[in-house]
Amino acid sequence: MIRREVSLSYELAPGWLAPHVDGLLQGRAVARGCGTCGRVSFPPERHCGCAAPAPHWITLEGWAEVVFRTDGLDGSFALVSFAGSSTKSVVRLVLDSATGRFGTLVAPTDGQPALLLALNGKGASDDTH
């Protein structure tokens, strides 16, 4: 095996994702919705797949239910379903030791856009988020 260290430095412009990226920086869940088929994607999909897409931006409530969680040495991550979204998202859990199945999207502290979820400690028997 040959080992090489590679360092990359580059900037990506958000382009059509600008509303989504701006939302993440503010801790808001900005999703892409289709006025034709009703599909809502968070993170946003450029095209929903229907015959006549009519995309628009939607701000979701920002809370999600944990579908699956994994904890490791480099942090805790979860597959979640955001309220109002037709898709699922992978997020980093900001409170690694927190438990519960509901959480809220939070703004990153380092100024870099990221999907970060703070669990609120509510369990499976709770009816509210």
**Three-state secondary structure call for residue 42:** coil
The pLDDT confidence band at residue 122, using thresholds 50, 70 and 90, is: low
CA torsion through residues 97, 103, 108, 109, sign: negative
Mean pLDDT to the nearest integer, 10-20? 88
Report pLDDT for 127: 47
- What's the mean pLDDT when you consider all of the chain? 89
- 76 to each of 21, 23, 39, 106, 121, how far by Cα in Å? 22, 22, 29, 15, 15
Report pLDDT for 99: 81
Q: In terms of Cα–Cα distance, which of 58, 40, 39, 42 is closest to 50?
A: 39
In the predicted structure, residue 126 carries a pLDDT above the cut 50: no
What CA–CA distance (Å, rounded) separates 39 from 37? 6
What CA–CA distance (Å, rounded) separates 12 from 31? 20
Report pLDDT for 96: 63
* pLDDT one-digit tens code per residue, 27-84: 999 999 999 999 999 999 988 889 888 999 999 999 999 999 999 898 999 999 999 9
pTM: 0.80
Task: Name the residue with tokens 């809370």.
Answer: 63
What CA–CA distance (Å, rounded) separates 78 from 117? 9
